[in-house]
Structure 1
Amino acid sequence: MSNMRRKDRETAPYPDWLDDILDCIRADKSVRKDFDHGGRLHIDRPLPFLCVHVLRGREDLAARDVSAAHASYLIVDDVEEALPIIDAVGNVLRERFGAFMLLDIDELEHDTLITADAPYLPPFEIRLLSTDDAAAEQAATALAEGADIEQVKFRTPYVKSFELAADPQAMALAQGTGFPLVAVRFAPIYRQPESGHIYPDLRERLVANIFDAGLKAFAAFVGATQTLKLTTHRALGRKAFVDAVSRADRSIDDVASTFDFLLAVTPINADAAWREFKANRFRRAPQFLYRPLSVQVEAEKRKLFSVAFDRFEDPVLYHLYREKQQELDLQLSLISARETGRFVEFSRALYGPVEPSLHRIAMDILLKTEKFVHGDEGGEDEAGIADCFEVETAARHMIEQYRQQYAGFTAEIELRDDLPSGLLVSGERLLISRHTRMDRSRIHALLSHEIGVHLLTYFNGSAQGLRLFRSGLAGYEGMQEGLAVFSEYMAGGMTVGRLRLIAARVVACAAMLDGRPFPETYGMLVDEHAFAPTAAFNLSLRLYRGGGLAKDAIYLRGLLELLTHLKAGGALDPFWMGKISAAHFIVMQELSLRGLLKAPVIRPAFLTHPQAQARLDKAWAGLTPLDLITS
């Protein structure tokens, strides 16, 4: 049949648009051609396969989304429309790679295994068919094994093989083109059987997992035919994102840019509040004052939920942006509840509670470091104290060093009167409070924290092409702060006082979430854990700002996650690509393998410290937080 069609082309050449497509493929250019009735040919890059879905007048099928998630796919309304396109494209790709296969994806008409009176949810049917060549059979086997997955909750797949002749569509595609073919048909379990309404979460899981099984089928075919060298099946995914992703990325970033979350909940009268607290003999919580909110919360929420993700054609990116949308919604709810009783509950939802295991580790750190405390935590010699101007000078020097690595490192520094003592990164700005006074020996470590991690990942994320990686994937803050604390150790600046502060934040955060008032938490830090009055006040301020912010527990939690990751042999490099959480590490690796992410344009300067490699080796061997002050 394939020979017959090639003979026909001698008298009936391809239309101009198809010849143009073939020229693009031969020139390694991407292809995106729309057809009538919602059809499309999309080729991210030349690959030895094509995913095919035949619409037959149907709409809103999960099978269409599975097909469109692949790097190379054809969606058409009927088989006859598909055949000449497949024949032309397939022959060009087979000539290039030496082999070519089709993956035909569709849905069964009904979820035949579900019954109204079932005492539990039975398995759902997946049918597999393939041509009888060895490579296609290996691909079908890989798809069957890949479809037997746990992530599709509620229902488990029942995979059954059928003869190709049992499916007219698959038979027509195989006979009409002569290419190796695998066909998969799955039950529409994402639809309610009576009404046809969608289970959105189930649909999302089903699409992602059938898609991944399809990648495994392609990888098995590639392995059997030796057409490409692969490190993982995920390398066969897309290497470019569609315009819909760029549009949604800008829209999400526009909403995120309308407010600065931490500045919105940080008091502007810290010094006056401290004086008030002292005047009241530490018995009454001080009154905190805040900046007026410049964001119209409801308007931004409307914009946020008007962002469409349904044309992403990429389950991984779809999931990342849905997560970010939900996180921004929670942040907007949190700042709108500032200074109300709802604030602490939104805060708990955003950052989580203090787990008993985390609290035990924090208490252990405080108890085992008591012997290093001499009545006044942070009571350094005045001669060793640096003011905000000395910190600013050191920060400008470090920023200039990073700018020499990468001209796009355009960080700015602002000295502010409206911040408590310390430093804060907001976007591309390093904010330094004019009230800052700190141990001079701690400057380099603290700047490694703020500049070497927070600003570095912002600019590396900016270089990725999607703003999401600079503003941060959902839940990124825990790992960011864990990396930042670890950077202080790598820079040789982790001290007993610093580790005690990080541990005390966890213990005090637990007290705040348990409903203890500000004066009691302050008193606990001073009387039970020997913190200096000013240090205890500043720590309490951070926790009770806005009405109770649970953020400060993430520093120790993130550090523990990072140390666990390193002990398991994990690398640091993916974390420098942008602002990500530990949960996104595998996702970042996949996107990197697919070519959607670039290597970090800047690497942290603390990695070049003379003792950096030795310290990193110790972390890979296994470290506890207490080891950071003795290693």
Structure 2
Amino acid sequence: MKIEDSVASKALLEIDNNIDALVKQIELLSYVNPTNIEEEKARFFASKYLTDPIFKYPNINFDKFKLHRELFTQPLERIEDEAIRNLYEDIIYAYSGLIQCIENIGNGKQFYFNSLHCFGTPTENDVENAKFILHFEDENRTLEKFQPKYSAKASEVFFKDFSKKYDFSYNIDYSDKISAIAMVLNNIKTLVLNTNHIYSENEIAILTNHEIGVHMVTTMNGLLHPLKIFSHGFPNNEETQEGLAVFSEYMSNNLTVTRLKELAYRVIAVDSLAKGYPFSRTFRLLHNQYDLDRETAFYITLRAHRGGGFTKDYLYLTGLKKVYDYYHSGKDMSLLLTGKVSLEYVNEIESLIQKELAVPSKHITDAYAENSNTNKTVDFILRSLK
């Protein structure tokens, strides 16, 4: 049955379009990154790591109350299929949670509690996994491929060259106001490169596979469906999306012990939020106890403490383990590339494709074609994680 022939499907498409119009303006990463990172970093270092930074954030340009109200007045009872109706209930609750996160950015504990609601926090098991990874030796950092060489502008050519293998186009922008060294903004199909960073060959190899090979691939696939939910995101999609992105680093033979340790430090930093640590104490934990250089320690601490306590960062490691196990169980990876989707909704994705409410993935992550990983230590670590 074609979707336009079904009254029930028309109701679903109408609700889906309504939600899409509402959530287009919710890009959490556009709001949670401070606008004065470099100034506060200088002040923090000058204080000998004792005075917590005071971050400023972009202004919110939407009516928060109106968004909440319009989300919860969607007539979900018109969706006859119970599984799809339950999915859309989950979607509305998830986006209401993100709106609450955005409206409390910079509001200390309140933002942290909203973040907990949206993303959770590391379990004891997650922290043990992180500490297990930290026992391994880093790669030889003096190798040529690890040396910083390329400015953000000079790196652009590598992203463009890598992207030739994909049948889509996107924008490249630059910013000195992001905490990551690169990021994809889904709603405007844009890769943002950090002008404060000098990129190594290894970082470019990681980022092309991570940002373009997964985040941009799922952005572009998400736009191809009758249902906009694939584009604006399923509930809990962050864990699956980041897991897929780091897994592409593994499959392309670019995932290193050093990179895994970076993800482990993020878990430690997020866990420090649950212990009530302020910014300065999390930083000193990473810098003094774990012997991280102060630049790396600052940015990992920033990622965890931005907004008032942003817990999302621990999901990279949990997501990687789940995707690694999913792949090695022989399951269909293309289902996870259909858009900004979540592992726990794989059955719903298959059902939506069968009902012609979704389409199979057009763009497939190049690194997934075959496993090129030769790093036995990385393989051992991923197999051993609980």
Give TM-score scaled by structure 2 length: 0.91
Match for residue 275 of structure 1 among 14, 39, 42:
42
- CA offset at residue 602 of structure 1? 1.0
Match for residue 14 of structure 2 among 247, 256, 267:
247
Question: Which residue of the partner structure matches residue 278 of structure 2?
Answer: 517
Verify the 8 A CA contact 1:518 1:540 in the aligned structure 2. yes
Q: Give the fraction of aligned pairs with identical amino acids, expressed as a percent.
A: 26
> Matched residue pairs, number?
379
- CA offset at residue 244 of structure 1? 1.2
Verify the 8 A CA contact 1:259 1:294 in the aligned structure 2. no
- CA offset at residue 532 of structure 1? 1.1
- CA offset at residue 256 of structure 1? 1.1
SS at match of 2:234: coil
- CA offset at residue 378 of structure 1? 9.6
**RMSD over aligned Cα atoms:** 2.6
Match for residue 363 of structure 1 among 131, 139, 142:
131
Query: Deviations for 1:116-149, whole angstroms, at most 9, x for unmatched residues?
Result: xxxxxxxxxxxxxxxxxxxxxxxxxxxxxxxxxx
- CA offset at residue 546 of structure 1? 0.5
- CA offset at residue 535 of structure 1? 0.4
Verify the 8 A CA contact 1:378 1:535 in the aligned structure 2. no
Verify the 8 A CA contact 2:279 2:301 in the aligned structure 1. yes
Question: Which residue of the partner structure matches residue 264 of structure 1?
Answer: 31
In structure 2, relative to structure 1, the CA distance for the partners of 1:461 and 1:591 (3 Å cut) is same
Verify the 8 A CA contact 2:146 2:201 in the aligned structure 1. no
Question: Which residue of the partner structure matches residue 184 of structure 2?
Answer: 425
Match for residue 350 of structure 1 among 105, 118, 128:
118
- CA offset at residue 479 of structure 1? 0.7
Question: Which residue of the partner structure matches residue 414 of structure 1?
Answer: 173
Query: Deviations for 1:380-405, whole angstroms, at most 9, x for unmatched residues?
Result: 899642210122221222334313xx
What does 1:591-630 align with in structure 2 at a 5 Å threshold? 591-608=352-369, 612-613=370-371, 615=373, 625-626=381-382
Match for residue 505 of structure 1 among 244, 249, 266:
266
SS at match of 1:386: coil
Can you give the 5+ residue segments of structure 1 that lack an aligned partner in the other structure? 1-27, 33-43, 45-239, 404-408
Query: 2: CA distance between counterparts of 1:363 and 1:429?
Result: 35
Query: 2: CA distance between counterparts of 1:309 and 1:559?
Result: 33
Verify the 8 A CA contact 2:149 2:201 in the aligned structure 1. yes
- CA offset at residue 593 of structure 1? 3.4
Match for residue 460 of structure 1 among 192, 197, 221:
221
Verify the 8 A CA contact 1:513 1:550 in the aligned structure 2. no
Verify the 8 A CA contact 1:458 1:470 in the aligned structure 2. yes
Question: Which residue of the partner structure matches residue 115 of structure 1?
Answer: none
Question: Which residue of the partner structure matches residue 94 of structure 2?
Answer: 327
Match for residue 386 of structure 1 among 130, 136, 150:
150
The one-letter amino acid of 2:344's match is: A
Verify the 8 A CA contact 2:179 2:302 in the aligned structure 1. no
Higher Rg of the two aligned structures: 1
The one-letter amino acid of 2:175's match is: R
Matched, 1:553 2:314: yes
Q: Which moved more, 1:287-296 or 1:560-569?
A: 560-569
The one-letter amino acid of 1:337's match is: N
In structure 2, relative to structure 1, the CA distance for the partners of 1:270 and 1:598 (3 Å cut) is same
Structure (1/2) with the larger strand percentage: 1
Verify the 8 A CA contact 2:145 2:201 in the aligned structure 1. no
Question: Which residue of the partner structure matches residue 132 of structure 1?
Answer: none
Verify the 8 A CA contact 1:379 1:532 in the aligned structure 2. no
Query: 2: CA distance between counterparts of 1:337 and 1:343?
Result: 5
Query: Deviations for 1:226-264, whole angstroms, at most 9, x for unmatched residues?
Result: xxxxxxxxxxxxxx9621111111111111112321111
- CA offset at residue 445 of structure 1? 2.0
- CA offset at residue 504 of structure 1? 0.8
In structure 2, relative to structure 1, the CA distance for the partners of 1:307 and 1:29 (3 Å cut) is closer
Query: 2: CA distance between counterparts of 1:291 and 1:624?
Result: 42
Query: 2: CA distance between counterparts of 1:504 and 1:421?
Result: 15
- CA offset at residue 614 of structure 1? 5.6
Matched, 1:444 2:210: no
The one-letter amino acid of 2:184's match is: V
The one-letter amino acid of 2:220's match is: F
Question: Which residue of the partner structure matches residue 483 of structure 1?
Answer: 244
In structure 2, relative to structure 1, the CA distance for the partners of 1:249 and 1:410 (3 Å cut) is farther
- CA offset at residue 418 of structure 1? 2.4
What does 1:503-582 align with in structure 2 at a 5 Å threshold? 503-582=264-343
In structure 2, relative to structure 1, the CA distance for the partners of 1:625 and 1:318 (3 Å cut) is farther
Question: Which residue of the partner structure matches residue 71 of structure 2?
Answer: 304
Verify the 8 A CA contact 1:469 1:580 in the aligned structure 2. yes
Of structures 1 and 2, the one with the larger relative CO (CA 8 A, separation 6+) is: 2
SS at match of 2:77: coil
Query: 1: CA distance between counterparts of 2:142 and 2:40?
Result: 20
Structure (1/2) with the larger helix percentage: 2
Verify the 8 A CA contact 2:4 2:10 in the aligned structure 1. no
Query: 2: CA distance between counterparts of 1:572 and 1:330?
Result: 28
Give TM-score scaled by structure 1 length: 0.57
Can you give the 5+ residue segments of structure 2 that lack an aligned partner in the other structure? none
The one-letter amino acid of 2:294's match is: P
Question: Which residue of the partner structure matches residue 6 of structure 1?
Answer: none
The one-letter amino acid of 1:513's match is: A
Query: Deviations for 1:203-242, whole angstroms, at most 9, x for unmatched residues?
Result: xxxxxxxxxxxxxxxxxxxxxxxxxxxxxxxxxxxxx962
Query: 1: CA distance between counterparts of 2:145 and 2:130?
Result: 28
